[in-house]
A and B are shown apart, each in its own frame.
Chain A
Amino acid sequence: MWLPAVGLILGVALGFLFSVEIPLGYVKYTAIMILAAIDTILGGLRAQVEHRFDLTIFLSGFVVNAAFAALLAGIGDLLGLDIYLGAVIAFSIRIFDNVGFIRRDVLMRYLKSGR
């Protein structure tokens, strides 16, 4: 489990090292990207727990989901509508779904092994 930790530390370190100021207009995109990343991480965890992890699906899901959410936000900006909220809600639902699945799975396994 050290590689994900390295990745996280690397990202945090980069965030501290380079003082990138996100312009106000791109706050939506930041929110979407963060949600997409969390969704992808949880999706990957769930897939691993269910023994059906596939690298191609995982990475393509991350990229395509993020890109589509960004596109949605862009269209929303163009129309002056908060369409990106749709992406935010979809990501949030998936995140909670995945958290629920992982929780159940881990709990079941723990209870099973406990008996």
Chain B
Amino acid sequence: MAEAGSRGPTIEASRRSIRWQAALAVPLAVAGFLVVTQARTELLIKRTLRIPSSQLEELAFALREQERHRGALEGQVAVLRSRLADYERAAAEGRTAVARMNREMQDLRALAGLTALEGPGLTVTLNDSTRPPLPGEDPNKTILHYSDIAAVVSELWAAGAEAVTVNGERIVSTTGITCVGTTILCNTKRMAPPYVVAAIGDPAALQDYLRRPGGALDQLASFDFPVRLSVAPRVEIAPYRGTFRFEYAGSGAKE
């Protein structure tokens, strides 16, 4: 481009040319850098997402919207989960409470004598004396009295019996053993000899206690009453058949 003949303008022209070229290099570098970078970004997007980048902003907006929606739903799930856990805990507490009350009720029913029981124990069979009364002797002395039965029952309790029946009548908290005329009354049921007293408990302990000298059986035997005591590995105890009614009693203030 240096057309001037003189040396000065030539130098000046070449210097201007250099300056021009340098100036042009700067935006070229910028443009080259940006074009390459953008092209690489676009290629990367196309390769990884297979979506033209012009749609990306729209899709990103939709994604953000969905994420917000999802966050709200997750919060809802958390709330519902905690509520479910509360319900489950309450249900479990209710179940355990019911189970505990059921167990307690079974125990109480057994204690009250409302359930049939069986276990090791013994039976005591008592009968009126076979000996004919001596002349002038009170015939009362040859027959069994309610107090004899009551004494045997009391001794069985004292020996650690857990359940007792007399002729199949369960001895419960309201049981009384009395007599009406010549018959013995137990649980309002009239009985006649022989009297079979059955008890569940440690057979050896029960037997030792009943056989002790001076005990009820010892006394009965000394009066020639036939007393038979037999240990059984399995004694069946019938449940109480009567009813419990409290017309006057109410539960006390103190448990």
Contact = CB atoms under 8 A, between A and B. Distances in A.
Contacts of A12: 32-33, 35-36
Interface string B183-224: 000000000000000000000000000000000000000000
Interface string A52-63: 010100110010
Interface string A1-40: 1111011111110111001111010010010011011101
Give the dominant DSSP class at B's interface. Answer: helix
A69 to B, nearest CB: 13
B40 interface: yes
A11 B32 CA distance: 5
Contacts of A62: 26-27
Interface string B69-86: 000000000000000000
A11 B39 CA distance: 13
Given A4-B21, A21-B44, A41 B38 contact: no
Interface stretch (B12-20, B92-100, B151-159): B12-20
Contacts of B247: none
B21 to A, nearest CB: 4
Contacts of B20: 44, 48, 53, 55
B41 interface: yes
Nearest to A29: B34
B21 A8 contact: no
Contacts of A8: 25, 28-29, 31-32
Nearest to A53: B20
B249 interface: no
A44 B23 CA distance: 8
Interface of A is mostly: helix
A41 B19 contact: no
B21 A1 contact: yes
Interface stretch (B52-60, B123-131, B165-173, B236-244): B52-60
B24 interface: yes
A16 B38 CA distance: 11
Given A24-B57, A48-B20, A59-B23, A15 B28 contact: no
Nearest to B21: A3
A45 interface: yes
Contacts of A24: 53, 56-57, 60
A44 B20 CA distance: 8
B24 A45 contact: yes
B44 A15 contact: no
B2 to A, nearest CB: 12
10 contacts: A3-B22, A7-B25, A8-B28, A21-B41, A21-B44, A22-B38, A27-B53, A44-B23, A53-B20, A59-B26
A98 B21 CA distance: 18
A34 B57 contact: no
A10 B31 contact: no
Contact of A37 (B18, B31, B53): B31
B134 interface: no
